[in-house]
Amino acid sequence: MNKPLIAAAAAAIALFSAPASAELASGASAPVFEAKGALAGKPFSFSLASALKKGPVVLYFYPKAFTSGCTLEAHAFAEASDQFKAAGATVVGMSNDDIATLQKFSTEACRDKFAVAAATPQVIKAYDVALKAAGISTGLTKRTSYVIGQNGKIVMVHSNMDYRDHVKLTLAAVRKLKG
């Protein structure tokens, strides 16, 4: 598939689709993985197992760096980063963008506040976040946020192409864990 077609398919899905559902439900074990990414423009290695030793993890998948909704969502997570840290949570954004793009996105959109990592096809499949158009994978991810407790269990899932509630809902779930 060519890139303009993928972008058009993603835009059409974002505009016309009902909220998508994530297959991984609350209470399920989060698939453990490691990924390369970026934090504040620098290469970064992420390990879910290591991050969970420090506290809950907000793992949010977004379709494509530097698209309007993904940039606005990253800004919102950046603005709330101190609140997530106060609740003991690590925030990591995931997409199938290349490392060079993630390095730039981590600085410009994420404002150096949290890491972004490359979602491999295996991670996309394990978390059931493949964005499809007409039943065919676009190579992009659905906009899906998971809150994972320190025990490795998913405590909250929000899957919706509209970015606006992801930060609010994940922050509420993290605060509930702390409380």
Give the tens place of pLDDT for each residue, 31-82.
999 999 999 999 999 999 999 999 999 999 999 999 999 999 999 999 999 9
DSSP assigned state of 163 = G
C-alpha distances (whole Å) from 133 to each of 8, 17, 61, 86, 143 are 10, 10, 17, 39, 14
Question: Which pLDDT belongs to residue 171?
Answer: 98
Is residue 19 scored above 60 in pLDDT?
no
The catalytic position among 35, 70, 130, 161 is 70
Residues in CB range of 53: below 8 A, 6 or more apart: 150
Identify which has the larger pLDDT, 8 or 146: 146
Domain containing 39 equals: 3-178
Catalogue the E-assigned strands of the chain.
34-39, 42-47, 57-61, 90-95, 115-118, 130-133, 136-141, 144-148, 154-159
User: Which tens digits make up the pLDDT trace of 167-176?
Assistant: 999 999 999 9
Q: For residue 169, what are its two tokens?
A: 């809902």
Whether residue 93 contacts residue 114, with contact meaning beta carbons closer than 8 Å, is answered with yes
Q: For residue 87, what are its two tokens?
A: 């609740």
C-alpha distances (whole Å) from 78 to each of 81, 104, 111, 125, 139 are 5, 15, 6, 27, 26
- In whole angstroms, give the CA distance from residue 84 to residue 103: 22
How many structural domains does the chain have?
1
- Average pLDDT in the chain: 90
Q: What percent of the chain has pLDDT over 90?
A: 82
Instruction: Tell me the residue type at 22.
Output: A
The CATH number assigned to the domain holding 96 equals 3.40.30.10
User: Is 70 among the catalytic positions?
Assistant: yes
Instruction: Tell me the residue type at 141.
Output: T
Is residue 8 scored above 90 in pLDDT?
no
pTM of the model: 0.87
C-alpha distances (whole Å) from 33 to each of 51, 126, 159 are 11, 10, 20
